[in-house]
A and B are shown apart, each in its own frame.
Chain A
Amino acid sequence: MARTAVGAGAQVGERPPDIRAVPLRHPGRWVVAVIVLVLAAMLGHSLVTNTRFHWAIIGQYFTSTRVLSGLAVTIELTVIAMAIGIVLGVLLAVMRLSPNPLVSGASWLYIWFFRGTPLLVQLLFWYNLSALYPRLGLGVPFGPQFVAGSANAFITPFVAAILGLGLNEGAYMAEIVRAGILSVDQGQTEAAQALGMTRLQTMRRIVLPQAMRVIVPPTGNETISMLKTTSLVSVIAVTDLLYAVELIYAANYRTIPLLIVASIWYLIVTSILTIGQYYVERYFARGAAKQLPLTPWQRLRRNLAITRPALAGGLEVPRPPR
Chain B
Amino acid sequence: MSVSGAGSGSPGLMVEADNLHKRFGRLEVLRGVTLQVRPSEVLCVIGPSGSGKSTFLRCINHLEKIDAGRLWVDGVLVGYAQRGDRLHELPEREVCRRRAEIGMVFQRFNLFPHMTALENVMEGPVVVKREAKATARDRARDLLAQVGLVDKADVYPNQLSGGQQQRVAIARALAMEPKLMLFDEPTSALDPELVGEVLDVMRRLAEQGMTMIVVTHEMGFAREVGDSLVFMDGGVVVEAGPPRQVLSDPRQERTRSFLSKVL
Contact = CB atoms under 8 A, between A and B. Distances in A.
B156 interface: yes
Interface in B3-59: none
B96 A287 contact: no
Contacts of A185: 110
B128 A197 contact: yes
Contact of A188 (B63, B110, B124, B173): B110
A283 to B, nearest CB: 10
A312 B18 CA distance: 69
B240 interface: no
Interface string A200-235: 010001100110000000000000000000000000
Interface string B127-159: 110000000000000000000000000001111
A191 B172 CA distance: 10
B104 A288 contact: no
A195 interface: yes
Contacts of B169: 191
Contacts of A15: none
Interface of A is mostly: helix
Contacts of B104: 191, 194
Given A194-B61, A195-B128, A205-B127, A287 B106 contact: no
Given A197-B96, A198-B92, A198-B96, A191 B110 contact: yes
A29 interface: no
A121 B236 CA distance: 63
Nearest to A194: B104
Contacts of A188: 110, 112
What range describes how many residues of B lie at the interface? 20 to 34
B63 A194 contact: yes
Interface residues of A, number: 24
A190 B106 contact: yes
A193 B127 CA distance: 12
A187 B105 CA distance: 11
A194 B110 CA distance: 11
B179 interface: no
Interface in B63-88: 63
Interface string A296-313: 000000000000000000
B113 A187 contact: no
A286 B110 contact: no
A198 B93 contact: yes
Nearest to B124: A195
Contacts of B100: 195-196
Nearest to B103: A194
A290 B96 contact: no
A194 B173 CA distance: 9
Interface in A257-296: 284, 286-288, 290
Nearest to A195: B124
A52 interface: no
Nearest to A322: B116
Contacts of B123: 195, 205
A288 B92 contact: no
A320 interface: yes
B113 A210 contact: yes
A45 interface: no
A196 B106 contact: no
B217 interface: no
A72 to B, nearest CB: 36
A26 interface: no
26 contacts: A188-B110, A190-B63, A191-B104, A191-B110, A191-B112, A193-B63, A193-B96, A194-B61, A195-B99, A195-B123, A195-B127, A195-B176, A196-B101, A196-B124, A197-B96, A197-B127, A197-B128, A198-B93, A205-B123, A205-B127, A210-B112, A210-B113, A284-B114, A286-B156, A287-B156, A287-B157
Given A190-B106, A191-B110, A195-B127, 9 more contacts: A187-B106, A192-B112, A193-B99, A195-B128, A196-B98, A198-B92, A286-B114, A288-B114, A290-B158
Interface of A: 185, 187-188, 190-199, 201, 205-206, 209-210, 284, 286-288, 290, 320
